[in-house]
Amino acid sequence: MRQRPLLLTPGPLTTAPETRAALGRDWGSRDKAFTAMTARVRKSVLDIAHAGADHTCILLQGSGTFAVESAIGTLLPRDGHLMVLVNGAYGQRMIRLTERMGRRVSSLSWPEDQAIEAEKVNQTLAKDPSITHVAAVYCETTSGLLNPIGEIAEVVASRGRRLFIDAMSAFGALPLSAREVPFDAIMASSNKCIEGVPGVGLVVARVSSLAASEGNAHSVSLDLHDQWRGLEKNGQWRFTPPTQVLAAFDAALSAHAQEGGVMGRGGRYRENCRRLVMGMRALGFHTFLPDSLQAPIIVTFHSPRDPAFAFETLYDALSAAGFIIYPGKLTEAETFRMGCIGQVHPEDIDEAVAAVGRVIQEMGVASCSP
Ligand SMILES: *Cc1c(COP(=O)(O)O)cnc(C)c1O
């Protein structure tokens, strides 16, 4: 019997038994073994990003949003101006948290089913010299859309501005190389494509920018510069680290490498996504995004228009069968989401789709068209 429940969500995700087993011992946070583990995790994260001596990895207690808020609050100078590129809820969240810390922020927006257009970013940067930094989401988990992060980064760099990348739902599965993509910070977390348990946020930051950021932060606990100085000084975390969570993250990073790193993991997710989309289409469902914009991370489906369909009923019946799906997060269309990430294998996807087919039939849904 495969692992159930299976989380077909954007995270936290289904984890491997080996990863959960790593939670099963205690660690002294000032002990050499724990300090060595912290160093090993930081190095593995840098390797995944193809980052060399120009970059450093800072680990932070908390969920992914803590890492985003910490990176922006520390690396965006007090008199900086951040332009956020928005085509979903996670772009909106970056606007909200930057406003909250009292920094200057503006935005450039697209509909939730359209990718960010690098040329529009280029034109806006040309017109407004006050913009110092740009922020973009790599995979917009709201819809599952893949933004052209390489093109965006190229334009931002050619205009001499700095880039923050929310790579939360992409890091470890979709290519993002510091050798090819110029950025000041990538933000991600332990519990998405690395398949750790929740509790650690991470930032891969440009050392020169971080070194110049002392005193920028609006918060002590979210001061990325201070956290970095602490880690560099003695290898220790400033405040109580999530010790067991880091041990699970360490185990998850080993499993990631064993699967073949970004290529291997991304390959499994692509196959999951392909089977999910194919299977759901065979049942008559329609995807929200065209295939050309779909990232192999999470898929948004239109809810069927048939009055016999009810999301709650589908959710509860699938949950009883061991499959946890996710409601939609779009501002307009009626949708629901199914994830392709975590310890989920193509055969699991086939079983989940078969379960959807059974439930739809039990509900008496004649057509799955939106
Ligand atoms: C998951 C996610 C986040 C962070 O969410 P948390 O709930 O704080 O972990 C941020 N951005 C994107 C694109 C995400 O998918």
pLDDT in tens, 204-255: 999 999 999 999 999 999 999 999 999 999 999 999 999 999 999 999 999 9
| pLDDT score of 30 more than 90 | yes
Pocket test for ligand 1, best of 93, 143, 169 (most atoms within 8 A of CB): 169
Percent of the chain with pLDDT over 90: 98
Pocket test for ligand 1, best of 149, 166, 194, 337 (most atoms within 8 A of CB): 166
The three-class DSSP label of residue 133 is strand
Mean pLDDT value of segment 66-72: 98
Pocket test for ligand 1, best of 165, 189, 329 (most atoms within 8 A of CB): 189
Using CB distances shorter than 6 Å, the residues near ligand 1 are 10-11, 63-65, 90, 137, 141, 166, 168-169, 189
Residue identifier of the C-alpha nearest atom 6 of ligand 1 = 64
Instruction: Supply the pLDDT for residue 1.
Output: 52
Q: What's at 176, amino acid-wise?
A: L
CA distance 311 to 326: 10
Mean pLDDT value of segment 31-57: 98
Residue identifier of the C-alpha nearest atom 12 of ligand 1 = 168
Q: 């295939």: which residue's tokens?
A: 291
Cα angle for residues 87, 88, 91 (degrees, 5° grid)? 85
Ligand 1: centre distance to CA 168 (Å):
6
Task: Give the number of the atom of ligand 1 that is nearest the alpha carbon of residue 137.
Answer: 13
Contact yes or no for 318/360 (Cβ under 8 A): no
pLDDT digit string (tens) for 263-277? 999 999 999 999 999
Ligand 1: centre distance to CA 300 (Å):
16
Ligand 1: centre distance to CA 201 (Å):
10
Mean pLDDT value of segment 171-180: 98
| pLDDT score of 314 more than 90 | yes
Contact yes or no for 56/207 (Cβ under 8 A): yes
Let me know if 178 is exposed, middle or buried by CB neighbors in 10 A (0-12, 13-18, 19+). Answer: middle
Mean pLDDT value of segment 271-287: 98
**Residue 367 pLDDT class (50, 70, 90 cuts):** very high
Instruction: Supply the pLDDT for residue 308.
Output: 97
DSSP assigned state of 304: P
Instruction: Supply the pLDDT for residue 22.
Output: 98
**363: number of Cβ within 10 Å:** 16
Pocket test for ligand 1, best of 112, 141, 200 (most atoms within 8 A of CB): 141
Task: Give the number of the atom of ligand 1 that is nearest the alpha carbon of residue 65.
Answer: 8
Instruction: Supply the pLDDT for residue 17.
Output: 96
Dihedral over alpha carbons 271, 118, 182, 81 (to 10 degrees): -130
Contact yes or no for 330/288 (Cβ under 8 A): yes
The pLDDT mean for the chain works out to 97
Mean pLDDT value of segment 331-342: 92
Q: What is the DSSP string of 79-126?
A: T-EEEEEESSHHHHHHHHHHHHTT-EEEEEE--TTS---HHHHHHHHH
**Non-local CB neighbours of 53 within 8 Å, separated by 6+ positions:** 207
Phi and psi dihedrals of 201, rounded to 5?
Answer: -100, 155
Instruction: Supply the pLDDT for residue 331.
Output: 76
**Residue 130 pLDDT class (50, 70, 90 cuts):** very high
The three-class DSSP label of residue 26 is coil
Exposure pattern of 49-86 as b/e (b: 16+ CB <10 Å)?
bbbeeebbbbbbbbbbbbbbbbbbbbbbbeebbbbbbb
**Non-local CB neighbours of 26 within 8 Å, separated by 6+ positions:** 243, 244
Instruction: Supply the pLDDT for residue 3.
Output: 86
